[in-house]
Amino acid sequence: MIKKICNYFIIFLLLFIISCEERKKEGSANFEIKTKNIPTNEKVEYVFACMQGNEDSQAYLVKCSCSIDYIEEQMTYDEYVQAETIMSLRQIYGEKSLMFKSTPNAMEIYSNMHNILAEAELECF
């Protein structure tokens, strides 16, 4: 009787350890996704667009670089791509852009990006 209980306990313990290992792997995979940085080419595009919108001078090179670095600290690359996509699609006129202007998820992403851009401007300009 005691042998059976010990065997069941060992089986239970092994299953518990295996399930913990799977959760550990899932947790580390999610961590890797959230810590990805904005790629350099995306940063360069942002800085060029920022400079063109301003004076196109060396001073704005530094300010715009600071701005994208601040944005990178505040959000993951996936969040940045979503925000940039929604911001560009909101500029389309007509019914095509209505979905990106009126849905709660799009409005939340847009307002979050707008707030981060305002903070970056205060921090860097």
Give start and end residues of each alpha helix (H) in the chain.
2-34, 40-52, 58-74, 77-89, 98-102, 104-124
Taking the whole predicted model, whether its pTM rises above 0.85 is answered as: no
Q: Read off the pLDDT of residues 64-91 as tens digits, 9 standing for 90 and up.
A: 999 999 999 999 999 999 999 999 999 9
DSSP 3-state of 16: helix
Distance CA 122, CA 125 (A): 6
**119 close to 70: Cβ distance less than 8 angstroms:** yes
**101 close to 90: Cβ distance less than 8 angstroms:** yes
**pLDDT value, residue 32:** 47
Distance CA 119, CA 85 (A): 20
Of 76, 71, 72, give the one whose Cα is nearest residue 34: 76
pLDDT category at 56 given cuts 50, 70, 90 is confident
Residue 120 pLDDT > 60, yes or no? yes
Residue 1 pLDDT > 50, yes or no? yes
Q: How far is CA 108 from CA 67, 75, 85, 87, 111, in A?
A: 21, 14, 13, 12, 5
